Amino acid sequence: MDLASFFITLKLAVVTTLVLVVLAAPAAYLLAYARFPGKPLIETLVYLPMALPPTVMGFYLVMLMGPKGLVGRCWLALGGEALLFTFQGIVVAALIYSIPFAIQPMKAAFQKIDRRIIENSYVLGLSARETFFRVVIPNSKSGIVAAAVLVFLHSIGAFGILMMVGGSIPGETRVASIAIYEAVEMMDYRGAALMSMSFIPVSYAFLLLVSRLNKDS
Amino acid sequence: MSVHLSANKKLEFFDLDISLSCPNGKMLVMIGPSGGGKTTIVRMLAGLETPERGLITFNDEVWFDSSRGINLPPRKRRLGYVFQDYTLFPHLNLFENAAFAAVDRKEVDDLFELFGIGHLKDRKPYRVSGGERQRCAICQALARHPQLLLLDEPLSALDVVTRRELREELKKLKERISFPIIYVTHDINEALFLGDEILPVVNGRADGDWIHRAIGGDSSTLSPSRAARAPRLALAY
């Protein structure tokens, strides 16, 4: 059993969850309340990673993040190291792969808030930003936790996209799902079974938490 | 020193065209059938709705002027606004709700005593009655030291007894304050009991004869659509 790959999976899922929840919250708020031209087109684009095959996403990320790609060149110019086949690279891939799972529950939670309590906050002298932190966030806790859990689960399950962007470098980019695949390829069924089994209780417990949260809210 | 509004706006069923003013220390009661535009007018005063044309001033401040493109956002108008339904923040207890925008948190205790909800300050809004929630909403509005108080049917969701009690409390409150109050209701008794001035609003316009027609029960002069939308007046108590 490849313990290092479990550590990479956990690290990837935690980093992705923290970064994505913070970045996606304001975006979800804009999608929930703001009116701007082209909103349906942008919203569909945000949900596109959910509909595309992970290998297709992976292909485009390889193109973009490679040393000749737009993102890769900018990253190098900013003093970063190469993105492909590194941990940072798979974090970027996991972030993009999970965007819809962060946005959707948070947007739904924000939309559920009674418009009038937001208006009341404005009338009481708060700016849009203060209202977001003092009224919107505290009243959307279950949606935010649901988003975090879904992103976490989705990140530990990522395979195709990580394979394309990160390959399988032990201790760097080889996550548990890739380690399982490789164990099977090498006919190490015992190792694969052990690793596979350890996913089930974690995923089950988190899903249970999500359904509990949905019920509470 | 007063608040003044004159505004035009095209609404779904009619064109709103109204002008009103209310001096400091007085209460102007807007009355009329539901769907007549009263709430829209209050929302214009609050800055939550924008007139197409018009002017809103408070003392020397211009809050809205369509000809000069001025539109002060709600947060800069220093208002107290008690909505029709309960708009307390569900995640905060009553004390934190009232202290949400308070100038001085210590005053909240005095306000709670005045409105008789001091013993409930640690409760969340969903654990108290409708009347207690509305009392807290009034405390919340007063604690921020508003320069104008807007009360949009604050009693309409309450039972008759609580309604009467709160009506008395509002009357007492009125005598203690020095800013204008705009009060919206569709209850004639409430309007006569509380108001220094009464402005009947029907289909977006001032309609001085409305009370007379409503009390007289002269339904022939009420249009069918308006009659259908108007609630029966609560004259029984």
For the stretch B171-209, pLDDT in tens is: 988 888 899 999 999 888 899 999 999 999 999 998 888
Report residue B151's pLDDT band, with 50, 70 and 90 as the boundaries.
Answer: very high
Report residue A30's pLDDT band, with 50, 70 and 90 as the boundaries.
Answer: very high
Asked if residue A215 has pLDDT above 80, the reply is no
Phi and psi, residue B55, nearest 5° = -145, 130
**Are B99 and B60 found together in one domain?**
no
Query: Best interface-test mutation with A: which of B91, B92, B138 has the largest number of A CBs within 10 A?
Result: B91
pLDDT digits (tens, 9 = 90+) for B158-173: 888 888 988 998 998 8
Cβ(B162)–Cβ(B131) below 8 Å? yes
Report DSSP state, residue A37: T
Of the partner residues A114, A116, A127, the one whose CB lies closest to the CB of residue B75:
A127
Q: What is the pLDDT of residue B229?
A: 47
Q: Give the strand pairing for B70-71 and B61-65.
A: antiparallel
Q: How far is A93 from chain B (nearest CA, A)?
A: 36
AA letter at A171: G
Q: What is the pLDDT of residue B34?
A: 86
Question: What is d(CA B142, CA B178) in angstroms, rounded to the nearest whole number?
Answer: 12
Q: Which residues pair with B152 in a beta bridge?
A: B184
Task: Please give the mean pLDDT across all residues of chain A.
Answer: 93
Chain B residue closest in CA terms to A121: B75
Nearest to B86 by CA among B43, B45, B125, B35: B125
Q: Which residues pair with B30 in a beta bridge?
A: B184, B199
pLDDT digits (tens, 9 = 90+) for A136-160: 999 999 899 999 999 999 999 999 9
A116/B140 CB distance under 8 A: no
Rg, C-alpha atoms of chain A: 19
**Are B216 and B183 found together in one domain?**
yes
Q: What is the pLDDT of residue B106?
A: 92
Q: What is the pLDDT of residue B217?
A: 61
SS3 category, B122: coil
Q: What is the CATH number of the domain that holds A104?
A: 1.10.3720.10
Asked if residue B226 has pLDDT above 80, the reply is no
Question: What is d(CA B117, CA B128) in angstroms, rounded to the nearest whole number?
Answer: 10
Among B12-26, B109-123, B210-224, the range scoring the smallest mean pLDDT is: B210-224
Q: In what order do the strands lie in the sheet with B53-58?
A: B15-23, B2-10, B53-58, B61-65, B70-71
Question: What is d(CA A54, CA B231) in angstroms, rounded to the nearest whole number?
Answer: 59
Asked if residue A182 has pLDDT above 70, the reply is yes
Q: What is the CATH number of the domain that holds B40?
A: 3.40.50.300
**Are B104 and B220 found together in one domain?**
no
Question: Which residues of chain A does B89 touch, with a Cβ-Cβ cutoff of 8 Å?
Answer: 117, 120-121, 135, 138-139
Task: Please give the mean pLDDT across all residues of chain B.
Answer: 88
User: Between these two residues, B31 and B216, which has the higher pLDDT value?
Assistant: B31
Q: What is the pLDDT of residue A55?
A: 94
**Are B65 and B161 found together in one domain?**
yes
Structure tokens at B109: 């205790």
pLDDT digits (tens, 9 = 90+) for B85-126: 778 999 999 999 999 999 999 999 999 998 889 999 999 999
**Are B165 and B215 found together in one domain?**
yes
Residue tagged 């009341």 (tokens): A120
Report residue A95's pLDDT band, with 50, 70 and 90 as the boundaries.
Answer: very high
Of the partner residues B79, B89, B144, the one whose CB lies closest to the CB of residue A117:
B89
> How many domains, chain B?
2
Cβ(B159)–Cβ(B151) below 8 Å? no
Instruction: Give the domain range for residue B133.
Output: 85-145
Q: What is the pLDDT of residue B218?
A: 57
pLDDT digits (tens, 9 = 90+) for A67-91: 889 988 898 888 888 889 999 999 9
Phi and psi, residue B7, nearest 5° = -150, 150
Q: What is the pLDDT of residue A127?
A: 94
pLDDT digits (tens, 9 = 90+) for A184-210: 999 999 999 999 999 999 899 988 988
Does residue B200 sit within a domain?
yes
Does residue B236 sit within a domain?
no
Q: Which residues pair with B53 in a beta bridge?
A: B8
**Are B169 and B222 found together in one domain?**
yes
* B126 vs A: CB within 8 A: no
Instruction: Give the domain range for residue A106.
Output: 3-216
Question: What is d(CA A48, CA B121) in angstroms, rounded to the nearest whole number?
Answer: 48
Q: What percent of chain A has pLDDT over 90?
A: 83
**Are B67 and B109 found together in one domain?**
no
Asked if residue B219 has pLDDT above 80, the reply is no
Average pLDDT rounded to a whole number, residues A117-126:
94
> How many domains, chain A?
1
**Are B140 and B152 found together in one domain?**
no
Cβ(A66)–Cβ(A138) below 8 Å? no
Run of H or E residues at B149: strand B148-152
Q: Give the strand pairing for B148-152 and B181-185.
A: parallel
Asked if residue B232 has pLDDT above 70, the reply is no
pLDDT digits (tens, 9 = 90+) for A18-29: 999 999 999 999
Nearest to B196 by CA among B28, B12, B39, B3: B28
Question: What is d(CA A100, CA A88) in angstroms, rounded to the nearest whole number?
Answer: 20
